A and B are shown apart, each in its own frame.
Chain A
């Protein structure tokens, strides 16, 4: 299975994603430059973290207009799996591939630390090697990761079981204290209606190697690989 790792000029988790993917049997990965407009030959698209075009305006607001994002939209419309991590999630929201927005963290600081995530829906192509209720320990690193959407959108996401992971404590309890950034309903990651576009703020690629303290991120990439 061939992964496209989209490379904006300010992407900085592109190399990490490629390196993590290369540790999976059956996966190959290559960069795709933001000025390109084709995803031919790829099976999965990864929109990695970073600061796409500097993000001085609003995270992902400019990336939305890049040539490659037109190709990503087309790829998604045809049912191809797309995963956006951190800045990638922000870009997917700005591109309207996912609803809602990521706004400044509740305490206004950038936060980098391990958090716990509860798997809420294990029946998607991004979570199928997991079980509902599993608790994952995966790092976050963002200044604008507070998920926000209007009440109707939140209700729809919840009703359609599209919140795939939620911030929780080590025991799997979803509490206000376990919410690092003030996201509504402790939302850490959501998918689109068709279930083929997934955005999340935590970095699964940073939790793929025991040397770094957690391998819980592997299950997400493994899910994509187990067809």
Chain B
């Protein structure tokens, strides 16, 4: 069987532009063959090379005193948590595969991010995920598809995470038209390691043997990275072979074997085979090591016969690793792989010539300078549209809303409603770490081996980002930091997942640019360096691009178990305080979306000084033991936040709230989404002390009312009394998603 000839059509089919092809000719000094063309096409895809986003990503702050491994250096960043211990964490998307095959798409997304973490030498200890789907209500074909995608993704995550025994302890789920047909599946994993255990992904030591270990290579996931770097279309369904199939049991074996291997001291370098599989791992390790790598494909364990070099190199079969072994230690390595019953083979060795050289039965099929392939992909400074300020919201244009019905409507909106249906399907308790069950402001996890308590959250309000990507991205970082503060934690660092539409559209590229700049600025303000992440562009469905969704994953540290704080009210009789202002910004709010069907107006304005003061004041009060519960105001404003504090209590509690005279209309008062606000409850005897301490930080404190045994949620404001029944609200909030999915 001979390879096809290199024609302009074949080049275009590989997503390589004429200019890029010229560059390939210059690098090689000759025409590439068919296999080499395939290698360039995946390595220079957006997914692997970040060619469209790289100039933007450079704007992120990446350094800090706690940063041990910086963004981009290795598979994941590493952050010091004290006592000689560190954490490696990262977030990655599997949007396109999940749109085509939700179960395997999501499952392999989890598998991929877990491999990124243990490749660093860290034991993965928990996962989070940020998921977005089109609306799931109603009986339209679209809603049915969205429900199928939602159910499939959740069960894919559950299947993979539960089997491998890494708890999924939190995250977020949103529903919006813009994600119809193009769901977002962003998965986060965190691992722990000692400083001296950090593993590197460089092919160092000329003459060192290169081992392949893990699942046999098959034809699944061929060129998935290139697939992920295109728009999703009607025809994308035919790309199903580009979706990989996951085997969590194999990954479990691989995880344990690799950690054992790294502990044995036999490893010179290690790299997982994720996007672009064997291709990416060989040229990246060579490039990082400043060496060359030569492998022979005939030695690669294969699942199928008759695979061509092109197929073997571009396969994205899961659960595979490339290990550079210290020469002379081969027998120890083999012993460990055999103990774990893993297929393995010595497939090549480290060379000193800087080439990625691939042979097939001794015949050279690929010979490309590794660095040029891995690190010198073209970089594009994409055109971006001119920035527009969102139209101000004209409140008088809104039809009147019956406020007593508005609160249950908001609580029953799937984006706000309880996600218990989701997290009940995840094993969140394995590894004995989840001290706060999913559903509170942040997930809290005790890392037993390091005796540290971590808090983690993922956040992004995409309506804000649609209306103003810069402000929306700033707020995503601020909200993440606020969620950590509410849990009693000090933020350490950030990983991000930038989900946007096709970057060739100047409007989309403007969104990316604005969001990155906003996020970078906020990360500097909160002293949370970005340790790495992922860019997912081309998130389009036939109706257009998704709302810009720059998801922030933030990790923090809780100093003392006594500081762990949750959102639920604790006891009848406690006093409810609002830290921050009453607010009045209704633009881009969930209230507008749910009650008026509009994404309109400017998002709320973030004031860094006010926000930081709030976090400091709240943490000071938590450390002083004065706070019983804390919950930030986000989607749905103060009304939803207060209701959630009642509804998430077990057993449910009620509240008596009196705002006095505010001069605001009830819908603005209850549902505005002004930033820098937290609802806390405190024991009656602690009100004075809490107030003094928090006000000392310059944060306004207002007594809102009292926690009651229920069953009423009673709100008085400006001479009007609203009274809701807690069990009714609970039903709307707790059962909506389960009922829709039944």
Contact = CB atoms under 8 A, between A and B. Distances in A.
Interface of A: 9-10, 12-13, 15-16, 19-20, 49-51, 53-56, 109-113, 139, 141, 143, 203, 205-206, 209, 211-213
Contact of A54 (B249, B432, B446, B561): B249
B432 A12 contact: no
5 contacts: A50-B165, A110-B427, A113-B424, A206-B432, A212-B429
B424 A15 contact: no
A16 B430 CA distance: 7
Interface stretch (B24-32, B156-164, B486-494, B577-585): B156-164
Contact of B432 (A9, A109, A143, A209): A209
Given A55-B163, A206-B429, 9 more contacts: A51-B249, A51-B252, A56-B249, A110-B425, A112-B162, A112-B423, A141-B162, A206-B432, A212-B434
Contacts of B163: 10, 12, 51, 54-55
Nearest to A33: B339
A112 B430 CA distance: 10
A213 B340 CA distance: 35
A182 to B, nearest CB: 15
B696 interface: no
A112 to B, nearest CB: 5
B341 interface: yes
Nearest to B165: A12
B68 interface: no
Contacts of A56: 249
Contacts, number: 81
A141 to B, nearest CB: 4
A109 B422 CA distance: 10
A139 B561 CA distance: 21
B143 interface: no
B432 A20 contact: yes
A139 B429 CA distance: 8
A16 B424 contact: no
A49 B341 CA distance: 20
Contacts of B249: 9-10, 51, 53-56
B426 interface: yes
A9 B253 contact: yes
A19 B446 CA distance: 13
B247 interface: yes
Contacts of A209: 432
B431 A16 contact: yes
Residue among B162, B253, B428 with max Cβ neighbours from chain A (10 Å): B162
> For chain B, which range describes its interface: under 10, 10 to 19, 20 to 34, or 35 or more residues?
20 to 34
A12 B165 CA distance: 5
B425 A111 contact: yes
Interface of B: 155, 158, 162-165, 247-250, 252-253, 256, 340-341, 423-432, 434-435, 437, 446, 448, 561
Contact of A13 (B165, B341, B428): B165
Nearest to B250: A54
Contacts of B430: 12-13, 16, 49, 141, 206
A211 B427 contact: no
Contacts of A54: 163, 247-250
A19 B447 CA distance: 12
Contacts of B250: 54
Contacts of B424: 109, 111-113
Residue among B247, B341, B437 with max Cβ neighbours from chain A (10 Å): B437
A211 to B, nearest CB: 5
Contacts of A51: 163, 165, 248-249, 252
Nearest to A54: B249
Given A9-B253, A19-B448, A54-B163, A112 B428 contact: yes
Contacts of A20: 432
Nearest to B256: A9
A10 B252 contact: yes
A16 B340 contact: no
A63 B435 CA distance: 32
A20 B448 CA distance: 11
Contacts of B446: 211
Contacts of A211: 435, 446, 561
Contact of A141 (B164, B340, B427, B561): B427
A209 B427 CA distance: 18
A203 B164 CA distance: 17
A109 B741 CA distance: 12
A9 B252 contact: yes
For the complex of A and B, list the 5 residue pairs with the smallest distance between their C-beta atoms, beginning with the closest.
Answer: A12-B165, A54-B249, A141-B427, A51-B163, A112-B427
B432 A19 contact: yes
Nearest to A206: B429
B255 to A, nearest CB: 10
Contacts of A50: 165
B297 to A, nearest CB: 28
Nearest to A52: B249
A55 B162 CA distance: 12
A203 B429 contact: yes
B337 to A, nearest CB: 12
Contacts of B428: 112
Nearest to B164: A12
A51 B427 CA distance: 13
Contacts of B164: 12
Contact of B340 (A9, A19, A111, A113): A9
Residue among A13, A111, A211 with max Cβ neighbours from chain B (10 Å): A211
A146 B163 CA distance: 18
B242 to A, nearest CB: 23
A71 to B, nearest CB: 19
A151 to B, nearest CB: 30
A55 B256 CA distance: 18
Nearest to A209: B432
A203 B250 CA distance: 24
Contacts of A12: 163-165, 252, 430
Contacts of A13: 165, 430
A96 to B, nearest CB: 24
A46 B165 CA distance: 18
Given A9-B341, A10-B163, A56-B249, A212 B427 contact: no
Contacts of B165: 12-13, 50-51
